[in-house]
Amino acid sequence: MTTHDLPISRVGVVGAGTMGLGIAEVCARSGADVVVVDAEKAATARGQERVRNSLHRAAAAGKLDADGVEQAVARLRFGVDPAALADRELVVEAIPEDEQLKRQLFALLDEVVEDDHAILATNTSSIPVARLAMATRRPHAVVGIHFSNPAPVMSLVELVASLVTSPATLQRARTFAGQQLGKVVITSTDRAGFVLNALLIPFILSGVRMLEAGFATAEDIDTALVAGANHPMGPLALSDLIGLDTLQAAAQSLYAEFKEPLYAPPPLLLRMVEAGFLGRKSGSGFFSYPDPDQESSSSRREESK
């Protein structure tokens, strides 16, 4: 057995937003030493507090004991210098859905991460992995590891191998997500949207179009899916949780790949993003949120199960 067959113990996460913090928490709870890097110092300070609060909520729900909370907190470090990622065995990119920004980051990670066998992973929900892999000199080590939001609650992880991802990289990522993190793992070919968002984005956009056409109110659209189809939340509340800017970026990526009208972002979505109505993180989207950083009610219900 080589060192690269052993469990991954040193993880890096780039991005201290909702997804990055969720991924970092999951990895720390699994026993990994985690470094979170974000370009903004204020984001790292907020991130530490948000992860700590999330861990305490998990403890209150019986998911962790007090020792587990403190051990997870002790495994987490936050900073702004990418050089802190040099010794990582796995680095997960969780920055906004902007292909150019992600390509620049992967080129930087290629320079910073010392181990040529380290996995460079993207949490992108819609951008083909090959486009990011080819920004590096080690495309064989680049793979998609797409967590569902919120990562500490949702069990799904999508693994996406590009045409040049090595079988060893894919297998190591599968072992990490499935065995170390205890996630439900599925695989997808490297096409925009993968499995989950190729199904989910058109569904959500249908709800936006229905609202835009005046067919029903936002409340009634969501109630129809919650009360009539047993969904945990409706498409518009889900849009607010995802972030309308993230939804728009995913829809645009899917439309660019397939040119199918069902993937095109509706004008209402475009105008809301332009106006800064981004959902929960901005305090206003299809619905209003007094506390932009509050967790979704469905997430808290799931944590209590």
Residues 142, 120 contacting (CB under 8 angstroms) = yes
Q: Which residue has the tokens 């993880």?
A: 11
CA 65 vs CA 108, 182, 304: distances in Å: 38, 18, 14
Q: What is the pLDDT of residue 292?
A: 53
Q: In what order do the strands lie in the sheet with 156-160?
A: 76-79, 33-37, 10-14, 90-93, 119-122, 142-147, 156-160, 184-188
HSE, CB side, 13 Å, CA atoms: give it for residue 224: 12
> Rounded CA gap, 11 and 20, in Å?
12
The dihedral sign for the CA sequence 35, 41, 43, 44: positive
Q: What is the pLDDT of residue 290?
A: 85
What is the chain's alpha carbon radius of gyration, rounded to the nearest angstrom? 19
Which of 171, 168, 166, 231 lies closest to 203, judged by CA? 231
Helices (H) and strands (E) in the chain, counts: 12, 8
> Rounded CA gap, 283 and 278, in Å?
8
Q: What is the pLDDT of residue 3?
A: 53
The beta strand positions in the chain, using DSSP E, are 10-14, 33-37, 76-79, 90-93, 119-122, 142-147, 156-160, 184-188
Residue 222 has pLDDT above 60, yes or no: yes
102 token code pair = 């992600």
Angle at 191 between CA 180 and CA 108, to 5 degrees: 65
pLDDT digits (tens, 9 = 90+) for 199-208: 999 999 999 9
Residues 112, 87 contacting (CB under 8 angstroms) = no
251 token code pair = 């829809």
Give percent of the chain with pLDDT exceeding 90.
Answer: 90
pLDDT band at 4, cuts 50/70/90?
Answer: low
Give percent of the chain with pLDDT exceeding 70.
Answer: 93
Residue 96 has a CB neighbour count (10 Å cut-off) of 13
pLDDT band at 302, cuts 50/70/90?
Answer: very low
> Which domains, from first to last, does the chain contain?
3-188 (3.40.50.720), 197-303 (1.10.1040.10)
pLDDT (average), residues 139-163: 96
Whether a cis peptide bond, with omega within 30° of 0, leads into 150 is yes
Cβ-count burial 212-240 (b if 16+ within 10 Å, e if not):
eeeeeebeebbebbeeeeebebbbbbbbb
| Ramachandran class of 39: left when φ > 0, alpha when ψ lies in -120 to 50, beta otherwise | alpha
pLDDT digits (tens, 9 = 90+) for 87-144: 999 999 999 989 999 999 999 999 999 999 999 999 998 899 999 999 999 999 999 9
Residues forming the active site = 125, 146, 158, 197
Residue 293 has pLDDT above 90, yes or no: no
- Average model confidence (pLDDT) for the chain? 93
